[in-house]
Structure 1
Amino acid sequence: MDALFQAFNNAGHSLFEVGGCVRDRLMGVEPNDMDFATSALPKETIEILTSAGLASYPIGIEFGTVQTILDGEKVEITTFRCSESYTKGDRKPSVVFGDSIESDLARRDLTFNALARRSDGSIIDPFGGEADLANGIIRTPGDPNIAFTDDPLRILRAARFVARGMGEIEQMTLNAMCVHKELVLELSAERVFEEITKLLMAKHPVLGLRALDATGLLRVLFPELEPVLDFTEDTGKWHHLSVWEHTLMVVDNTPPIAEVRWAALFHDSAKPACWSKTSTGIHFLRHDHVGSEIWDSVARKLKCSNKFREHVSTLIFEHQCLRNNMGIKGIRRLIHRLGDRLDNLFYHTRADIIGHVPHIV
């Protein structure tokens, strides 16, 4: 890394380690990704890397990003930006290059991601990100109304960092999330799917889902879950929680496998529509089948792959089957139907059972 800093310094340009990798180092965690910001324009970055004997890959040169390989790891170097905004439904930003590290940090999503590290290890922290990191405060570097208008994905990122256990959302930031929640509908489906998947895969997904619920974002993103959130009918002798609280408990008890956690989130989505009360008790007939259809509709809107969509749909469709007395032939048929998805069905079913009345389980 020293050689990289030296190469840019020799060329008369500044270079800083930035963002999540600086945050992770302050947390005592080895960064997964290495990102740098520089005063050099993209073509100048390529020239500097070439002169230093390093490879250069213009993976996003129109956005100021050039990739290289450092100690066997991919590293991204991006020209300072002073603004970045997205057109409705677009995955690629409109970028204006900046002239200082401070302007670059100002347009980042959250204060503890608006950090930079010099070559000598000293930290540049114009927005109090290090203190927010220590105190568990999640907030934007500047006015959250501007930050969320420039890129509504930042609204979801705030909830994701709650799911990571990074703290609680500061009140002004939380208020702005509520005010601007409809802006997430302008995001491309792929960006929403990626961000919610990251939230579900985090250490505390339920905290993130509660943040989405509290701000109204969950209803905006997934109106299919609104009946679940509002359902107040008797759930029967097998459940001691509401359908939504049961759903959260199932999510919380699944392993961090994307297909399993998406299935957990939508496995009971059809219960309100399938609810009935007879002389024999409370029933949710065919909610597993109808729930898989609801998920199929959601997945198509999210534009996730057919393989992923069908995997999750199968887990929802089959999530009741392991409780039946199947017999040897039934088990063989299940193995044949599910193939390599069988383990994930076990994970999902186990979590679902845990979410039932404790003394019955």
Structure 2
Amino acid sequence: MSPRRIRLGAEAREALRRVAALRREPVWLVGGAIRDAALGRAAPDLDLAGRDARGLAAKIAREFKGTLVTLDAENCVYRLVLPPARGRALKQIDVAELQGADITADLKRRDFTANAVALELPARLPPSLPESAFLDPRRGLADLAHGVLRCEEGRLFEEDPLRLLRAFRVSAQTGLELDAPTLALIRKHRRLIARPAGERVQSELLALLAVPGSSACLRAMDECGLLTALFEDLEPARRCAEDYYGPGGVLKHALDVCARLDFLLMRFAKIYPDLARAFDAHLAARAAGGAPWRAVLMLAALLHDVSKAETARTVDGRLRFFQHDTRGAERAGRILRALRFSREHVDAVAAIVRHHLRPGHLVASGGPVTDKAAYRFFRDLGTDAPGLLCVCWADHAGYMPETRLRRLLSAACGDPPRTDLSRIRPEESRKTVRHLQLVSLLLRRFFDQDRAPVPARLLDGREVMKHLKIPPGPRVGDILERLREAQAEGEVQDRAQALAFVARLK
């Protein structure tokens, strides 16, 4: 068998050739770029190490006409953000000062064996290199060949506890599996996750949750104790309502909901082909300039029942959770603010937690959803409505095994009046399908191209006051709201009808 070779992409090789020409001293390619190349993946950035990292970074910035950013002044870590260019996949180049006496010492201080491989930049890089060309003191290439993510010593987590969370992020992004000894080390050192700055934890968490399938990592984090070391407010949920949810209680349900949300988001185009393009555009708009919106929705799913334990009461022999939605919204907001999440992310998660019961209440009302009820729902939720509906979909789907969910997807996404649910057994499954049908109906109403869920105003406050000859005050707002409800119900469709409608309210 011929030795395994590692292939670097043409764009990366050209960038590294230009870097190597800038100085005579050794420069090393390290970390994720080599790991990803060994896995056959394209890397969006390059990590370099060498002496006088500041000087090297400045030379690279001039060579590539990019923007130089200091990431860590104390440890001399710099980032070159490359200017946009057609066809360019490479986004940035990070340059770090060698840590320790030499490159071998530097690699021994890195987080995982898969990231502790280096290549000294030659003047010319061939398309592929044998493994023998790489410096690999911790046998990271062998771990990569076996699909393993490994950390050998607890001190590496002690030196930077953020690595506890990074382990799951790298695992999610690369498909590498954390081995049992590494998971044992994470369990042993899990309490250290409270030490890193909130901003660093938030960044890792969003990067993890942005990866499709990340719900499995959340479950693995819980199994080794890291999840509730990070989110201490979730620990009481583990012992709450175990008679109903089974071992793990409300926390198990929250993780089930995350798994169902993953299921929905990964298959949205197949489940709702008529909505896929509009939904993708909505997610892209919400993520503009920030984290992928799926990560925010995954956070909302994880925290949607965060206050069930504190509100649990037994009433007439039945376990109830009065106000767990409103108190949960407040608690979720505190949790995310402590981790320095943006105001937009905090507000969105809090809104979803606060309103996550509303679609269920519409189903419980018995009859069809009226235009007025739908309008009030979309008025209150605004652009958070699609995300809320996805979390609600997952919340109800979480009560059903995935195999049964797959069988019932067609009915769950169908039109309620036209779908016969009488043959669905047991009753709990039929109830779940009714909830999913309602969510599907609201999703379609939100993205209806012919009719906005919240109609545009036909009149403003000044026009109402002038037409009715009334002074400013709360009555003007009440009239405008009644007008919009009439618009939502189709009773008022143009300005003339709007003026006639408000005249009747005088």
**Offset at 1:158?**
1.5
Cα displacement (A) at 1:218: 2.2
Deviations 1:97-132 (A, max 9, x none): x45332332222111111234453443322111221
Task: Please point out which of 383, 388, 394 is paired with 1:345.
Answer: 388
State the AA in 1 paired with 2:114. Answer: F
Counterpart residue number, 1:135:
146
Q: 1:305 to 1:7 in 2, by over 3 A?
A: closer
Deviations 1:282-325 (A, max 9, x none): 43222222211220221221121122111100011111111223
The counterpart of 2:27, out of the listed 15, 38, 46, is: 15
Could you say which structure has the larger radius of gyration? 2
The share of aligned pairs that are identical, in percent, is 29
Q: CA deviation at 1:209?
A: 1.8
Q: Letter of the aligned partner of 2:344 in structure 1? A: K
Shift of the alpha carbon at 1:332? 0.6
Residue type of the partner of 2:389? F
Per the alignment, residue 271 of structure 1 pairs with 308
Any idea what SS the aligned residue of 1:277 has?
strand
- Please name the residue that 2:214 is paired with: 205
Q: Give the structure 2 partner of residue 2 of structure 1.
A: 14
Q: How does 1:16-35 map to 2 (within 5 A)?
A: 16-35=28-47
| 2:360 paired residue number | 323
Distance verdict in 2 for CA 1:227–1:9, change over 3 Å: same
- What are the within-5 Å matches in structure 2 for residues 72-221 of structure 1? 72=88, 73-82=90-99, 98=100, 100-117=102-119, 118-119=121-122, 120=125, 121=129, 122-140=133-151, 143-164=152-173, 166-221=175-230
Q: C-alpha separation between the residues in 2 aligned to 1:133 and 1:341?
A: 40
One-letter amino acid of the counterpart of residue 182, structure 2 = T
Provide the residue aligned with 2:78 in structure 1: 65
Q: Give how far 1:40 is off.
A: 4.7
- The residue type equivalent to 1:235 in the other structure is Y
Deviates more, 1:73-82 or 1:109-118: 73-82
Tell me the distance in 2 between the aligned counterparts of 1:247 and 1:290: 16
Contact in 2 for aligned 1:201/1:258 (Cα 8 Å): yes
Listed as ranges, the gaps of 5+ residues in structure 2 are 1-12, 266-292, 363-368, 402-428, 433-506
Q: Which amino acid aligns with 1:184?
A: I
C-alpha contact (below 8 Å) 1:54/1:68 kept by paired residues: no
Q: Which has the higher contact order (CA 8 A, sep 6+)?
A: 1
Aligned-pair RMSD on alpha carbons? 2.9
Over 3 Å counting, the alpha-carbon distance change for 1:234 and 1:194 in structure 2 is same
- Post-superposition shift, 1:3? 6.0
Q: Which residue of 1 aligns with 2:325?
A: 288
1:303 & 1:10 partners in 2: Cα distance?
A: 39
Match for 1:342: what amino acid? A
Structure 1's 79 and 289: CA in aligned 2 closer, same or farther, altered over 3 A?
closer
Higher strand share: 1
Q: CA deviation at 1:27?
A: 1.6
The 3 A distance-change label for structure 1 pair 251 and 68 is closer
In the alignment, structure 1 residue 231 sits paired with structure 2 residue 244: no
Out of 50, 57, 62, the residue aligned to residue 38 of structure 1 is 50
Counterpart of 2:314 in structure 1: which amino acid? K
Structure 2 residue aligned with 1:248: 255
Deviations 1:33-77 (CA, angstroms, capped at 9, x unpaired): 222223454225534764x57556253483142526386544324
CA distance change for structure 1 residues 76 and 167 in 2, over 3 Å: closer, same or farther?
A: closer
Give the distance between the partners of 2:311 and 2:111, measured in 1 at CA: 41
- Higher helix proportion (structure 1 or 2): 2
- CA–CA distance in 1 between the matches of 2:106 and 2:17? 18
Amino acid at match of 1:250: V
